[in-house]
Amino acid sequence: YAPWCPACQQIEATWESFAKESERLGITVGKVDVTQEPGLSGRFFVTTLPTIYHANDGVFRRYRGSRTLEDLQGYILERKWEAVEPVAGWKSPSSIMMHGMAGLFHFSGWIRQIHNYLTGTLGVHVWISYAIFILATLLIGLFLGL
């Protein structure tokens, strides 16, 4: 979820109720703020918010059903998740490919922090910051090419 997302705000009360029922259902319920954890956003290939996953014994399934408390509970109690196709091996959050994707998201966050430091703290003009990143990209490419 993301705090600014209207759909996430709409499901928040339902999700909190579902989390309170988690012990009775024999599951663990959590939520992750993708603005604070961009690596997980990349690892789980989050393209829409909110995105709900069911994980059991290292097998991940994306929940695409109704987002009412009754339907979420039914998904678990009636074991409806067994009929859902697991996430493909290469797209699984535990795969090497998605581990690399998480690294790219972390790297982009690091670049954003540097840009904000240059423009906000040091007062460098935005276009100069862009020029620094362009120059750094070219120099790293030349270095790796040698």
Question: Tell me: the pLDDT tens digits for 25-47?
Answer: 899 999 989 888 877 777 777 88
Over residues 9-26, the mean pLDDT reads: 92
What is d(CA 146, CA 124) in angstroms, rounded to the nearest whole number?
A: 31
Q: Are residues 83 and 11 in the same domain?
A: yes
Q: Which pLDDT value is given to residue 103?
A: 77
Instruction: Based on the fold, state whether residues 17 and 84 are members of the same structural domain.
Output: yes
Structure confidence by residue, pLDDT tens digits, 42-85: 777 788 899 998 988 888 898 999 999 999 999 999 989 889 88
Looking at the annotation, which residues are catalytic?
A: 5, 8
Domain boundary (70, 91, 112) is at 91
pLDDT of residue 91: 65
In this model, does residue 88 exceed pLDDT 90? Answer: no
Give the model's pLDDT for residue 35. 85
- In this structure, are 41 and 78 located in the same domain? yes
CA distance linking residue 141 with residue 132, whole number of Å: 14
pTM above 0.85, yes or no: no
In this predicted structure, the answer to whether residue 113 has a pLDDT above a threshold of 80 is yes
Q: Which domain holds residue 13?
A: 6-91
Judge if 59 and 131 occupy the same domain.
no
Region for residue 130 given its phi and psi (left: phi exceeds 0; alpha: psi -120 to 50; beta: otherwise): alpha
Is residue 55 located within the same domain as residue 36? yes
Q: What's residue 90's pLDDT? A: 64
Residue 1 forms part of a structural domain: no
Residue 50 and residue 110 share a domain: no
Measure the CA dihedral 18/23/29/30, to 10°: 110
Q: How many domains does the chain have?
A: 2
Provide the percentage of residues in the chain whose pLDDT is more than 90: 51
CATH code of the domain in which 25 resides:
3.40.30.10
